[in-house]
Amino acid sequence: MSTIAKMAVSNASEPTNDSRAKKMNSNFIVGLAYLLPSFILFGIFLFYPMLRTLYLSLFATDSQGTPLKFVGLDNFTYILSDPNFLQSLKATLLFVLYTVPSGVILALFLALIANEKLKGVGFFRTIFSSTMGMSVAASSVIWMFMYNPAIGVINKVLSVFGVKNIQWLQDPHYALAAVSIATVWMNVGFAFLILLGGLQNIDEKLYENAQIAGVSYWYQLRKITIPMVSPTLFFIITVSFINSFQTFGQIDILTKGGPIDTTNVIVYSIYKDAFINYNIGSASAQAVILFFCILILTILQFKLGERKVHYQ
């Protein structure tokens, strides 16, 4: 076969630009078809409520949430000067400060213990992660009985050491700390399980080399364990921050925002304004502020925290 004939056959067998474009368009349409259910669900249950909330935050509304009058940024100006909202913001920040560091440290400590190759360690792994199987309502009821000043087990134990009965959920000095302790207990199972998975993915050869070199356990923890598990740790910290800002269930069951609004976090304040006071415009403005607070803190965390994350 001549060279010209071979080139003709080769060119005929290669796809043309038009056929490639049609194939790419076909693949794009198929991809969109697979993504369409997700787009519909996100649009209905996420994007529309977000846009609707932003829209209502600019209006004065009636008790049914119907916009009556455009007020611009007046809702934001009002709530930012409202002592009750400022107290809610303070309570939220304190709640995040109480729950996130202590919860992550406790989960990491339990994961390090459960990662040891000891007999019967599977039982303790089950116990440590068991809080994942309990709802917020059930857990809150358990802690409500534990905090009961008359029959609660916590005051019973403290009385052995001569401590008088403490009104854990009624005293403004203890209420937020009490709810924070319950929240840490509720969330530690999830964080423990994720961190344990991260620890078990660390290459054992790193520890073998460290033992041959004769380094201490604490040196291994600082130079091997923490850096290698840092991506998982970063994920847990980020999720814990977001969950802390969105806490509602245990606040509603244990304290209902009291006493004296010391546990009235922003999410519970939004709930009261929207469904008790029927002030939808103010509640929407608070929701928008909460969204941007979480967004800004998450971005800062990614900017500052990822620098210390070691990806394999």
Q: Provide the total of helices (H) and of strands (E) in the chain, helices listed first.
A: 15, 2
**pLDDT value, residue 17:** 65
Residue 16: its pLDDT value, please? 65
Cβ atoms of 240 and 103 closer than 8 Å: yes
- Give the per-residue pLDDT at 120: 80
pLDDT of residue 22: 73
Give the model's pLDDT for residue 310. 63
Q: Are 261 and 273 in contact (CB under 8 A)?
A: no
User: At 29, is the secondary structure helix, strand, or coil?
Assistant: helix
Whole-angstrom distance, CA of residue 284 vs CA of residue 267: 11
**What's the pLDDT at 222?**
86
CATH T-level fold of 82-308: MetI-like fold (1.10.3720)
Residue 284 has a pLDDT of 92
For the chain, give every domain's residue range.
Answer: 3-43, 82-308
Q: Could you give the CA distance from residue 185 to residue 9 in angstroms, rounded to a whole number?
A: 72
pLDDT in tens, the chain (312 residues): 555 544 444 454 455 666 777 777 778 888 888 888 988 998 899 889 899 999 999 998 888 888 888 888 888 999 989 899 999 999 999 999 999 999 999 999 999 999 888 888 888 888 888 888 888 999 999 999 999 988 889 999 988 888 888 899 999 999 999 999 999 999 999 999 999 988 888 888 888 888 888 888 888 888 888 888 888 899 999 999 999 999 999 999 999 988 888 999 999 999 999 888 888 999 999 999 999 999 998 888 888 776 667 665
Residue type, 139: S
Rounded CA separation 246/253 (Å): 15
pLDDT (0 to 100) of residue 311: 60
pTM of the model: 0.85
Looking at residue 264, what DSSP letter applies? -
Alpha-carbon gap, residue 152 to 138, rounded angstroms: 16
Q: Is-contact 65 56, C-beta < 8 A?
A: yes
The one-letter amino acid code at 242 reads I
Phi, psi of 68 (to 5 degrees): -110, -40
Q: Which of 88, 107, 138, 129 is nearest to 245 (CA)?
A: 88
The structure tokens listed for 311 are 């990806």
Token code pair at residue 172: 């403004």
